[in-house]
Structure 1
Amino acid sequence: MLRGVLERRYDHEAKFLNLSELAQDEELKSQHIFDLKSTASKFFPAMMRVLELSFDKPEERDAAVTSVSLANNDLVDLAAVTTLSQTLPKLQNLDLSNNKFEKLEHLHNWRRRFVNLQHLILTGNPLEQNDSNYHKDVRTDEEIAKKARTTDLPFPIRSPLFKDEGGIAEQFVRIYFAGFDNDRVALASHYYDEQSEFSYAVNTQAPRDPNSTQRSEPGEWETYLKSSRNLKKIQQLPARQARKYRGTQAVADAIAMLPLTRHPDLASEARKWMVEAKMVPGVPDPTGASPGGVDGFLITVHGEFEELNLSGQPSKKRSFDRSFVLGPGGVAGVRIVSDMLTLRSYGGTQAFEPENFDAWTEPSTILPVAEPAVPGLPAGLSIAEAEQTVAQLMQQTGMTLSYAKDCLDQVGWNYLGAVEAFGKVRGSLPAEAFVLPTA
């Protein structure tokens, strides 16, 4: 159905995608897409995903669609359509006329996006009368080229462990953090399902920014501590279980309770991010078709954010580490299996800045970097061999990824020893140790 909408509204000769007046589209009305907020919020991201899958390469997509109209859609902000900037970052012409944007701030989600944009139409919006700062900035071709050179960096500073597949990891990170800053309810329904788990922990002992010349301020962690799952401090099992949220609604409620945030722009402030990603086997399959699990992603993000007060103004800067385990499924084609967030006082970015940042602007100069040794693995055991061993143990025992890895850790990664150890403790393992209930 979504593919049909795109085909009907696409002008091949003009390279123009007309997404105006979507609520009046007869086919969408017959499908009752906009009758419920839950389906309406998923519609545009899903359509953008279908558009992405219609092309083999991003370059082909950028060449095919250079102009888009979102006119007459009653948009008050960009929350519902924010994924347009990830799907069509090289857009040249954008029509946002006759919507309900009251202030320029309502367009800030797309600041520093669309670096090739030549025409932006905003006529017919209340901001023409309401916003005294309303004006038009015109960039020269030279300024556009300079902007592209300074922002079109490799997706945020990657470590040697950034291994993507079809742009899945990159796309997820770009969409997830934009959604976390702007619409957490829609984000929860987009990526989490009833098997998804989320927890966060506050690390109050983490080092602060070593380059800071200002006096350290109090951490002010009171808002977070009541649900913090710091396992070094929370020893009782009921308290630990109560601080782990499972299911779409539980996760939505949990992340909604956290203070508002604003993360650095992924395009123009790449120095403030580090993203690691790799494929992992044995991710639980919610359909039950693959008892040994399926392939997924482990994505670890290190960075910072500004905590916002109720009026939307920055009140405190913090650092964070976040680990996601992704698997196939969900409305986006990707579901979050596990999401663990660690919060700490602002510690700067020195720990993950490259020595020569300018080298990242020239991808051809980057030399391959040897994969470092992984703490906990015996000498001579590669990551690929370790992953294969974990997958084999999961298949034989039915244990989850984390329990299988812990079992191997305890016996020095001796496979037969792990099988023997599992046989001794199998009866005492909790139900959560297994991908599927065992007989």
Structure 2
Amino acid sequence: MKLIIKTTEDSKIIEDGPQNPVRVVHTTGTIDAIREFIRSRHQNGFLNLENMAQDNILRSAQIIPPGSSTGRSDVGAVMMKVASQLFPDITTISFASNGLRSLAPISSVAQFFPNILNLSFKGNEIRNYRDLENLSGTKKLPNLREIIFLDNPLRDRDIAKHKDDISYRSEITRLFPSIQYLDQQPVGPKISFGLGDIVDAKSKTASLPVPIRGNFFDSPDTQAMVLEFLTTYFKLFDTNRTLLEHMYDISATFSVSTNITISPTQRSKGRGGDNWSEYTESARNLSRLKDLSDRTKRLHVGNQDIVKEGLMPLPETKHDLTDASKFSVDAWQTGSLLPAVCIYIMVHGEYEQAPVRGRGYTKSFDRSFIIAPAPPNSSAAQHGWKCLIISDQLTVRQYNGPEAWQPEPELDVPGAVSSAVTSAFNAAGGAPPMTNTATGTTAIAPPPAAGVGPDPNQTPMQGISPEQHVKAQELQQLTGLNYPYSVQCLAAVGWDVQGGVILVNQERANIPADAWQVPRF
């Protein structure tokens, strides 16, 4: 039988007990050589294990390091065990230039250095993402801050395939979610999506499902302006898209993308995919479009190009604005993001698409707008629009219903936002057109309840009493008229607010565009 002689100290390394997977049997000379090697490669918490095949200490002891196909699979585990005993304060290890084809040979680093901060695998032969799984995940290396895979076939091939490193960086950060630096570059800030206290500080995970809240507006002014904008926009989108030309800025952008994945709702009902033929020529799906000219062609710039080439080719639609539960609206002012202060709007909802080959379709959609106040002399203002569209992005999806955003009762939005959404949407169905007396053009009149609120800093007009001033601002709130026209209207009805409301509704079609309030952002 083979005789093996070992010291007590060597026994701790070679056979460490039933819970330790290290079961290495080496000679005392081998263990001593590994100790000497580790000491020679350590400095101030950094363990340099680069290019181990050329190390004189290991070559003299005839130790084949991890990465070689002819070496023992347990050498890496012995090295990590020895290193943890000699230098437990190690925070950084470099395995560069070792010919590693996977992380399996050195996977014991997670066992012996669970709090390691930095790892480098530069210049190895790693080719597939599955070869990283021996060390991936937050449970194995929860504190890992930086990892390097430069000069590996995995990285080089992925970047060459996709023409950029977006897919590669996304996959690595998925496998190693704790890292802050990848290949010596920041991976970007983590996005919490407003989870706040829902995220557990210790586990850094969210308790799901996250409570669902209702529509969000950062102020009553934003709410009024956005609801008026959306009801008018969607009505024209469904009935006469050519009138939308004046609503887009001359440098505005528009694009549409499609998500053709069959939704869980469709799958549960046994339905297959929808018809997407009418979107094929215009969809700007960047994950599929790699050619720069195709990407550029499908991004529409300017009001005329947007309407003629972007909106008109899309199939006919019908947005049921009488049921606000089918829509979710979030909107907030963006500060000085653009030259003018803007409002960012995100809408989730659904619409009925015109039948294709005799069959109609219900589509879900996401739409994001950036709108800004329309300058007084702009085409938008002359056609009765209070704001301009700066950016418009539309994503169309398989129908999945509105259940995802229906608020839990105790978390419903404060005040009367939900009822205001319903009121504004309902009003859009019957609002009479508004004619600009100067140009003769027609637009859809804003609903009475959705007017922008009066300016609290407005000073009374000359000859107007404080009581009349208050009534003028009340009429502004109820009708959407600006202050001078509110005063003029009330003077005509003997300063009766209700009479003023009736008069505005009766004459709405003849009220000029400049009589309506300009949004205060």
TM-score range, shorter chain: 0.3 to 0.5
Structure possessing the higher relative contact order (Cα contacts under 8 Å, 6 or more residues apart):
1
Query: Rg bigger for which structure?
Result: 2
TM-score of the pair, normalised by structure 2? 0.35
